[in-house]
Amino acid sequence: MTENKQKNSKIIKLIKAFTVAIFVAVNLFLYIPINLYEKGKSDLIFSIETIMPYCLHLGVLVFVLMFLSVLFTPYAVHKLIYALALSLTLLSFFHYSISVYIDFDGYLPQILDFLIWLLVIAISVIAAMSIDKDRAISIICIFLSVAITLSQAISIFLSLSENDFSLEKIGNPDVKQDQNISHKKTDMICWDNLYPISKSNNIFYFCVDRFDEEFAEEAYSKDKHIYDELKGFTWYQDNISDYGHTFPAVTKMLTGVDWNTEENRYSYFKRAYSSKNYLSELYKKGYKINLFTSPYYVFSSKSVPYYVSLGSTETNNIYYNSDGQKKVGKQFISNTLFNCLPSIFRNSFNMVGLTGCNSYAVADELRSSDLKRVYDHIKDGNFKETDQKLFSFIHTDGCHYVQYNSFWHKPIIFKKSITPTVKNSMKVINTYIEAMKKIGVYDNATIIITGDHANPVDDVKPLDGTRLTALFVKTSKDSKSDLKISQKQVCHDNIWPTILESENINLNISTAQSISQVTDADRTRIYKWDTYEPNKKVMDEYTYEIIGKGTSFENWRIVSQKHYDKFLMD
């Protein structure tokens, strides 16, 4: 081989090593993860900055290994590596592109999918090993990988340039409070939100996740003293929540603004918090808005209500630490491999929906759902008295699943009664009641105990029975009597008017009645039930009209059904 040919051969080998290495790294560790992020951006509480460091580190590592393996191996070996890397990455790219439209459910589609992979790889290897004498295949492959990499780079650049990582404050910040109270905004999703109790006006809104009426009644049948601390409360046993899942139920509970199923999560938040809503109006009245819930249910990576502070540094980085970045970065890579590799290997990777990635991003000390952790923080009674009027929304796992027994130990698998979860939820609430009584503010407090929704039973089908959500209410006018039971036909829309009536606040937000205005006559209530089928990427929304007693399923009828080619939380 002449000196020029050797030189040209080295240059081509260098170009091949660089192009295939950059192609693999960009495709698997930048382009596809960023696309996955973009698809679910409205659902995430973190920005793309969270996953980028981990993806970049892996991408650089793979680039270096791939570059060296092609550059410093014998000609026949590097041809094989090059052919395999190029064909596998191209297959991954196209597999990711079509995975949006094909589910690959069942053995036959997965086997056919795998055979196509084997066929393409075999053709690539044979072509690379036998027809590459004049470098024609190399030039074609270099051109192909460069073209695709450039198009991906442009896509990545446009995606990043369109991302504004600064937080938008939703709503109108130019508000005047009725009272001259200087109060700081809410520090969201931190343990400090558990401790304040006002010396004057307290509104405590306890959201026990999945607090089904059957759960409440089952616990009461087994322990008649479970609700003994609820002096002045009325237990409404025919209550219907607005929705069947935590999203959008919590946001509706907080703001009173209904979700439009056509909206993504970010658009819903923006509309709900920009509208005249109950939280913003309470803030104007001098109440500190004290929220203790999972951040997923109250804001996105792009927006927070104007009356809410994210802490000392108002950046979305406050919600995850370095460990959270690593976890969510790993999960995005796992999601990438799940989408890119042959479907027959999918069980090897932990595919978590983009909404599920929120739990990886949130710093552990800021997570708020675990019932035992909440109890551990408040059981010693380290509550803080404040002169400021207070609205506290405290949302725990509650009855979502049986996580602990009555002694806060993990339950034996065959003894997973729901009753201990109700008792444990009441331990948390009773601790607050005892603290309010000790301070001397219980009589005048407004306290709501309910769930965001009832027990779904089956997420993929229309309802097969009633779905009632437990509701206990004490207004500032009720404090001495024992627990009363009412069969009034009430719903979550009646809660906020009841709170405002209890606090003597007049707001023109909703036409809904307070509970005191609801008569014993039959009435019509609405319930939205959304199926949840992530594997099929579809959902159906059923609107039920309940006329009369909600305790009889004969009174529940579907008045609307809409199909959506998306997840419930997309």
Per-residue 3-state assignment (H helix, E strand, C coil) for 235-304: EECCEECCECCHHHHHHHHHHCCCCCCCCCHHHHHHHHHHCCCHHHHHHHCCEEEEEECCHHHCCCCCEE
Mean pLDDT of 62-88: 84
Distance CA 252, CA 257 (A): 5
pLDDT for 318 equals: 45
Report residue 2's pLDDT band, with 50, 70 and 90 as the boundaries.
Answer: low
pLDDT at 186 over 60: no
pLDDT for 177 equals: 44
Between 231 and 507, the higher pLDDT residue: 231
pLDDT at 182 over 80: no
Lowest average pLDDT, out of 69-73, 364-368, 540-544, goes to 364-368
The amino acid at residue 338 is F
For 98, phi then psi, to 5°, come to -90, -10
Distance CA 190, CA 222 (A): 35
The amino acid at residue 376 is D
State pLDDT tens for residues 345-391: 877 877 777 767 877 766 555 555 789 989 999 999 989 999 999 99
Report residue 46's pLDDT band, with 50, 70 and 90 as the boundaries.
Answer: confident
pTM for this prediction:
0.81
pLDDT at 62 over 80: yes
pLDDT for 152 equals: 80
Report residue 147's pLDDT band, with 50, 70 and 90 as the boundaries.
Answer: confident
State pLDDT tens for residues 193-207: 899 999 999 999 999
pLDDT for 328 equals: 86
pLDDT at 316 over 50: no
Select from 384, 339, 272, 315 the least CA-distant residue to 164: 315
Distance CA 413, CA 423 (A): 19
pLDDT at 23 over 70: yes
Dihedral of CA 232/237/240/243: which sign? positive
pLDDT at 343 over 50: yes
Half-sphere exposure of 87 (CA within 13 A, CB side): 20
547, β-bridge pairs: 524
